[in-house]
Structure 1
Amino acid sequence: MSIVLVGGGHAHLKCLLDIRKKPLPNQNIYLISPDRYQYYSGMFSGYTEGLYSIDEIRIDLKDMSEKAGVTFIEDKITEVSVTEKTLLTKAGTSISFSVVSFDTGSFIEGPSSFKDYLVQIKPNYLFANKIKEYRNVEFPVVVGGGASGVEIALAITAWREKNGYPTNVTLITSSKLLPSSSSKASTLIKEIAVRKGLSVIEDDSVGEMNESHVITQNGTSLPHSQVLWLTGPSPSGIFKKSSLPCDQNGFLLTEKTLQAKGLPFIFGAGDCMTLEAFPDLPKNGVYAVRQAELLWNNIIGYLNGDVCSTFTPQRHFLSLLSTGNKKALLQYGRFTIHNKFAWMLKNKIDTDYMKKFQN
């Protein structure tokens, strides 16, 4: 019997803690990830701004695995065979499984015609080095008006201001800023961005790009030194390639028990999957953390022939978006506020979360 955890996301980190507390005798357990470290995206803006060191934003998967008695393999899964219950890796290894769980996150893919001009920061382990190179370029341009695009654009702006660079960052979004938030939050974040010196182009999108300029659909031309593309999430290609159940976008499709539809020995959690019962649920770390609470219990339950627990997402959750200079935008339902206390709360939540996995 062997259990394979693919990826080091929120849910699999919790699995490692669960295994450490209550080891499974006579079970071969593996964790496979393309990098030894898992980088925590909740602290990416703080790292970009220079508030956190690299060691504060990453978790040593190899060390965590060894402490839990789990075999760590630094490799990437390229294909899944459902009939043979095997995983094929980039290094050419074939790994058998009784149960496999995917917690690999999502990717960000810009249009292929622009790929030579884009900065690649996903998978997450690419982020730290790429953003350090990018935050001091001559003409920084960020595309994407969601939380990650806004947060990173503001963090680059804050870093440049502190380090004597021109605050000439441009953010381009095809909608308003924070389109999935309340109109109050959207209006407030626009005011904050403009006040901090971030140039915002709303309700417009990139039409053309060459090695020196971005031209928007509405005809605005602006210089760039490569573009940070932070639009919506894209799935890993292995689910479709392996003929696993997928939603219309290619994310692994699961039941409320986090088991792949029709394949109960395959589990999924976090941004790499879509819950069939909640197809419009945002790809958000808040839900991944909640799914982590039941994933390992369900894996063990399945192996023991027990009924698996179901996941129901909460209707409202606390959202904290860093805006630079140790301030943050706090949202809960329709309540929105921007101040230093919100950043202090975000910092405490993030650092407390990381401590659980760094000891």
Structure 2
Amino acid sequence: MQQDPTPASKHLIFLGGGHAHAIALLMMAMNKPSGVRITLISNQVQTPYSGMLPGLIAGHYSFDQVHIDLGRFCRYAGIDFIEDSVIGIDPVNRTVQCLNHPDFSYDLLSIDTGSTPDLTTIPGATEFTTGVKPVKPLLDYWESLQDRVMQGDDLQDIHIGTVGGGASAVEVMLAMQYKLHKMLSKEQRRTSHLHFHIICGPQQILTGHNTRVKNRYLRVLKQRNIQLHTNFRVAQVKQGRVIGESGDVIELDEIIWATSATGAQWPARAGLECSENGCIRVNDYLQSRSHPEIFAAGDIADMVNYPRPKAGVFAVRQGAPLLRNLQAALVGKTLTRFKPQKQFLSLISTGDRYAVASRGPFSFAGAWVWRWKDSIDQKFMRRFSDLTQLPDQVPGTQLKIENPDMRCGGCGAKVGHSILNRVLKQLPPPPNEIEIGLNRPDDAAVIEVPQGKLLVQSVDSFRQLVNDDFLFGQIAANHALGDIFAMGAIPHSAQAIVSLPHASDEIIEQRLRHLLLGASKVFTECAISLIGGHTSEGSELTLGFTINGLADRQQLLTKQGLQPGDRLIITKPLGTGTLFASDMRSQAQGRWISQALQHMLQSNYQASRILTEAGAHACTDITGFGLLGHLHEMLDGSGLGARLWLEKLPVMEGALPCLRAGLFSSLHPQNRKFEHTIDNLDEFSSDSVTELLFDPQTAGGLLAAVSSDQADAVIAELQAAGYTTACAIGSVRQESNDAVSLM
């Protein structure tokens, strides 16, 4: 989509991907404020829609159908997405602390991180139960429970129960019963050994719903043989049972905790005014009562003048008023009061394709209600899944750039001296001896090369491919180090080449800090340091490094050196080119990109050491030219050929669907110039796996030739070192013309 040409001067951060934020961000994507950098920080790349979660548990929906793909949506909307967990905020300095990132600075902050059942007040609850939230641990537990039931003995009774009698507890229990019965019946197995329980406190089930709804569900629970334990206050949980305040015991093999929700602890620790349940107290503008630059919505927020249940229907309705007030706050305009509805339509499923609806004192039920609910839920999710390109700007209008003559070129485009100094002071000290570097800043770095060593040097630079500066810094560093590791050299030092988009000093400083701290994380793990570089401002972010390495002449690996019979070993899976090309078009699933990033963040350091010590005959890193292009370089002029085993190629999740859809990297067509080296490509022309051969890689793995008698041991050592997909993908053959054949 069209990038905002106005330099960013303010930073709006959304914490959490809850329903209110999802709606607000969807609406903001259609009319983004000019000159504002927008960041979403969430610990999940795909966030669940609560209304469809019971349907997922019951097997009516797939995972993707009930999850909003935040990563994909943010790419579409031009919003920076950070996958991380928030651990604190500092309202005084206006910063956000995350588990795996440097601090983020903000001008305006919105919080929608949800709530979870409180497991801390009852002894044993944390150790022996699973909460209905967060959803990911619940779904992981549910997969495990299904496996245990299906692999278990039908003669062994299993008691499954929830503590809590609200809508979420009832829906989850009915959905689990439905799915387990369906799975067992499909294999013609008995279901009578499964026993289901719902444990309520002093109140009846479904508090907050009218008597008609409660009576309908009491009949359903009775028909489904789900035992309801009322007036049971849990005092303690032990392995396999819950104990009441009066000493009564209910035997439960599986316990799901669905009591009243609480907020995270870090808002109160930061000094925000919070309720006893840890939720942020907000006024009628969804604005923190204690910190006006902070807004909150969804389950994490308590509207002091309009208390409402923690329900998705209220969170969704808060999205639009939250956005209006955030936009007003950014430009200093008057905020608008929001009064949530008193009555609302409630649609609760019963596990099977049947649901109960209610609004105020009215209630009705049936299969048609489930179909109605399904239609509403699917329509809501299509707002995010059916992403289309935003309309182009109105013809004839001019893009406005504030102070167009103020941004200089040449040396005038450098990042300011004070900004640079502040960032450099936050980098780790150099671990090795440098004559002159950042420890003694001068016009150039000075390195003393030890006697008998060869200086190995490489440079790489490219545009930003992921809107997470800290991760991008790591990926760029890994990518630049690849050439050094491919040659069996030991990295020594690095210099950075950075170009940052025009923005306010505060935003530029944060971005530069995240980029260089990310790179330094990688460099520190390799025991090298950043010793210099160059920064500038430009139209887009680019990052690169010149890497210096040292090597003994006799240990130097090159692309040449292949020997007949060698096994070709690859250390990482393929697919980054097509995945990120698809991501730029908002066509890649968020989890595909998240997993691809993990591969890109893995250093080739240990792989290089293992291959060098094993006496590899030749080695290269797989980058822009793709697997076939780099293999061709190894074969060129050798008089040897190679056989590739297509079925052995390790592939990143999602890469093949993207290739089948024709979503290629822009470099892919140029890499096809190497297809002439394959002497039997026509036999596999209908196999999309062949397209992997031309897919350019970023921070890709190593491709090495190892003698056949060493190959198995080398692969085992690589896998033990964390390169879990390392494998042999072919062999070198004694044939001329540098030809490659596919098998």
The answer to whether the 8 Å contact 2:329/2:335 transfers is: yes
Describe the SS at the equivalent of 1:140.
strand
Q: Which residue does the alignment assign to 1:252?
A: 280
Unpaired runs of 5+ residues, structure 2, are 1-9, 150-157, 185-190, 387-743
CA offset digits 1:77-130 (Å, max 9, x no partner): 111111111111112511000000001111112224332111144222333222
- Deviating more after overlay: 206-215 vs 176-185: 206-215
Q: 1:344 aligned to 2:371?
A: yes
Q: 1:39 aligned to 2:48?
A: yes
Unpaired runs of 5+ residues, structure 1, are none
Within-5 A mapping of 1:86-235: 86-110=95-119, 111-134=122-145, 137=149, 138-164=158-184, 165-166=191-192, 167-174=194-201, 175-217=203-245, 219-235=247-263
Pick one of 257, 262, 282 that aligns with 2:309: 282
Distance change (3 Å), C-alpha of 1:180 and 1:218? farther
- Deviating more after overlay: 156-165 vs 26-35: 156-165
Describe the SS at the equivalent of 1:168.
strand
Pick one of 26, 35, 43 that aligns with 1:17: 26
* In 2, Cα distance between equivalents of 1:169 and 1:192: 13
Pick one of 321, 335, 355 that aligns with 1:308: 335
- Deviating more after overlay: 203-212 vs 59-68: 203-212
* In 1, Cα distance between equivalents of 2:27 and 2:75: 13
For the aligned residues, what is the CA RMSD? 1.6
The answer to whether the 8 Å contact 1:39/1:59 transfers is: yes
Higher alpha-carbon Rg = 2
* In 2, Cα distance between equivalents of 1:249 and 1:20: 33
CA drift of 1:248 comes to 2.8
* In 1, Cα distance between equivalents of 2:368 and 2:316: 23
CA drift of 1:300 comes to 1.1
The letter of the residue matching 1:178 is L
Q: TM-score, normalised by structure 2?
A: 0.47
The answer to whether the 8 Å contact 1:76/1:90 transfers is: yes
* In 2, Cα distance between equivalents of 1:53 and 1:163: 16
CA offset digits 1:282-320 (Å, max 9, x no partner): 111111111101111211101111111111111211101
Describe the SS at the equivalent of 1:171.
strand
Q: 1:76 aligned to 2:55?
A: no
Describe the SS at the equivalent of 2:40.
strand
The answer to whether the 8 Å contact 2:112/2:296 transfers is: yes
The letter of the residue matching 2:115 is S
CA drift of 1:187 comes to 2.2
Distance change (3 Å), C-alpha of 1:112 and 1:98? farther
User: Higher relative contact order by CA 8 Å / sep ≥ 6: 1 or 2?
Assistant: 1
Describe the SS at the equivalent of 2:321.
helix
CA drift of 1:3 comes to 0.3
Q: 1:269 aligned to 2:297?
A: yes
Describe the SS at the equivalent of 2:117.
coil
* In 2, Cα distance between equivalents of 1:203 and 1:187: 17
* In 2, Cα distance between equivalents of 1:141 and 1:224: 6
The answer to whether the 8 Å contact 1:37/1:125 transfers is: no
* In 2, Cα distance between equivalents of 1:180 and 1:120: 21
The answer to whether the 8 Å contact 1:105/1:271 transfers is: yes
